Chains A and B, each alone.
Chain A
């Protein structure tokens, strides 16, 4: 019998509703797993076992009364960038080390209403800025496949907790690849929904035009189930889109015969690991075998995406993070009575180096004399990148690319070279720039480390991406592989 902490959401739900297991038992199995491996993986910033067990009891009551839904009683890790009422929410920053939100993010509220069980808050790069989880002000997270390697980032805790069997699923956030890249590095599934599909209310802002919350799970079906729970219009987020609710699990079993898939050559960058290329080529052959047609396409503006992103995201970050002034909440330097000195010291001591780097970069790009050359130019490039995607989506239903040009790298390998670190997200950034949905699904191994395949579709094509990924996943064994811990 599968140990309870390794159950899929569907299996857990079936066993919970048939009363074969209780949510308390399931939750305890996850807590036991955390006890056994967390000192090595370190995917959590805060553990909330008391809350989890209390929620599990409540879930058991709901289930006994025939209430609840597919996530009732199922344990989840929440990335520490989402506000949780009464539970410290740090964004992995000294700035928010003692910050206790007084309200829940909409996604948290939705899960809680359904009877979800929160195990704790997931580690991440500080303010979601990074690709390795090494920018966490508190501790790094270790990749379950090789503890000397990074889990990816910024949602490294989310991916590592799911891959190590600590949590059944997790919520991450993705501004330039922060759900998909760690999912690829840890051999799990990660989905970045279309911009506007999931409410950002209570998501601590990094770059507001790019940020989106998404699920991390051990299967495509699990991610679809979570998306069902978190998607939907929210009046508290003016950028959330009013659409008819959709059941993303409904068509998962359908075949993908006739699906038109495009492969943008620009995503197979120089320096890509040969094992990644091979894994993607094999995956394309599998998809063709399932009845999809595969054709090369071109997205010539891809080469501008990195520059475009690293102007827009830091610009928005510099504006968003202006709120950390030591007055209303967060760290506050008390060693002076001078207002400006207090603010400068608050931000000097409160922010880590990557956050400072991006705030400064954005401040520069928005400053007098440079605005047109950087920020405006990047916004125009953004239009061209978006149009490039719109053009290819007239001919194909979805794109297939590697999720990252590299597999999980050694902890410490890139910390002194920000540009090299930024390049690990070169395949995922364009998706956020254009506001598209993107999904990473495991597609093999390169030198023993997981490789992720990314599917990209037009706005609100989550159903297509999930169905395609599910068909691929069902035809292969990659998602069943587990790290030996």
Chain B
């Protein structure tokens, strides 16, 4: 079933990605085509099959809690697009 325009816009909003008019049409078509390829999974009986999250087989890994230095704050801020002193500067999150 092809994705409707409203669905493409909804997905883009969830993903926080702006799309142009052209992209809405293109991704709608391409994603629909890709989703068709997924229909093959419907023929697979997965009743009672446990999901695999990753293939490594490791469980939660614990280590001793040893205090150590983290990155220097200058390093942390080195790639900041916008900074003010020791802080990342961002647009207002809360409305007045």
Question: Which chain A residues have a beta carbon within 8 Å of chain B's beta carbons?
Answer: 98-100, 102-103, 195-196, 208-209, 235, 238-239, 241, 301, 303-304, 306-308, 310-311, 318, 322, 325-332, 334, 336-345, 347-348, 351, 353, 356-357, 359-361, 363-364, 367, 374, 376-384, 386, 418-419, 422, 433-436, 459
Contacts and interface: CB of A to CB of B under 8 A. Distances in A.
Nearest to B7: A364
B25 interface: no
Contacts of B14: 363, 367
B93 to A, nearest CB: 6
A344 B16 CA distance: 5
Contacts of A382: 51-52, 55
Top-3 shortest CB links A-B: A435-B55, A379-B51, A332-B81
A234 to B, nearest CB: 11
A332 B82 contact: yes
B55 A328 contact: no
B52 A339 contact: no
Contacts of B76: 102
B40 A356 contact: no
Contacts of A356: 17, 19, 23, 27
A310 B46 contact: no
B54 A209 contact: yes
Contacts of B34: 310, 357, 361, 418-419, 422
B9 to A, nearest CB: 11
B79 interface: yes
B78 A100 contact: yes
A57 B95 CA distance: 58
Interface string B1-43: 0000001100110111111100100110011011101101100
Contacts of A103: 71
Nearest to B63: A235
Contacts of B71: 102-103
Interface of chain A, main secondary structure: helix
Interface residues of B, number: 50
A239 B58 contact: yes
A376 B48 CA distance: 12
A413 to B, nearest CB: 17
Given A196-B58, A419-B37, A383 B31 contact: no
Contact of B44 (A329, A334, A384, A433): A384
Nearest to B51: A379
B27 to A, nearest CB: 6
B53 interface: yes
Contacts of A329: 79-81
B1 to A, nearest CB: 12
Contacts of B91: 336-339, 342
Interface centre among B19, B20, B37, B50 (most CB of A within 10 A): B37
B85 interface: no
A361 B53 CA distance: 18
Nearest to A209: B54
B40 A360 contact: no
Interface centre among A326, A348, A351 (most CB of B within 10 A): A348
A360 B27 contact: yes
A198 to B, nearest CB: 12
Given A304-B41, A377-B41, A102 B58 contact: no
A137 to B, nearest CB: 16
A334 B56 CA distance: 42
Contact of B37 (A306, A338, A435): A306
Contacts of A303: 40
A195 B55 contact: yes
Given A304-B40, A419-B34, A419-B37, A239 B54 contact: yes
A195 B88 contact: no
B64 to A, nearest CB: 10
Nearest to B43: A304
Given A310-B38, A348-B19, A380 B51 contact: yes
B31 A364 contact: yes
